Copies of this chain bind each other. A is one copy, B any other.
């Protein structure tokens, strides 16, 4: 039961996108270089984030990715769902009920499954309290401002300008 490594990459990516100026986009290759991860796998992750509605994608030469929502509206659990997919971590195989429940109670909620759901709910609630905005605030408090400034500088150097109309 190990979380995908893609989760960390997705969070980092979304934080980068959150620091992006309005109407600007960032291309996948730039992100993968900054994160020092496989470009192909990150593109796959980006596709998941797009399908989940967390980021917008613009195809074409001047294309790229941008955050689809406001940073305070994107929770860690949203990212988790996008990366890991729906369907909780514990999936009932029916062994418990087939052993301990009678035939007519087989469809009843499994006692063990109920506990697992409670545990997962507690876990989810923590992740739902954390948003991209709160993470950014923690980063500001924890790490040095120089690093953030350097990151913003890199962003402006890498971003695609807004589409002139």
A-side interface residues, number (CB < 8 Å): 56
Q: Which of A1-9, A50-58, A61-69 is found at the contact surface with chain B?
A: A1-9
- Asked if A92 CB lies within 8 Å of chain B CBs, one says yes
Number of copies: 2
Contact A95 B15 (CB under 8 A): no
A84 to chain B, nearest CB (A): 5
User: What are the residues of chain B within 8 A of A92 when measuring CB–CB?
Assistant: 8
Instruction: Indicate whether A153 reaches chain B with its CB closer than 8 angstroms.
Output: no
For residue A28, give the distance in angstroms from its CB to the closest CB of chain B.
Answer: 15
Q: Does A157 contact B (CB under 8 A)?
A: no
A116 CA to B127 CA in the complex, in Å? 8
Q: Is the CB of B1 within 8 A of A93?
A: no
Contact B135 A127 (CB under 8 A): no
Q: Which residues of B contact A122 (CB under 8 A)?
A: 122-123, 125-126
Kindly state the separation between the CA atoms of A124 and B122 in the bound complex, as whole angstroms.
Answer: 9
Q: Does A164 contact B (CB under 8 A)?
A: no
| Contact for A105 among B4, B9, B91, B144, CB less than 8 A | B144
B36 touches A5 (CB 8 A): no
A76 at the interface (CB under 8 A from B): yes
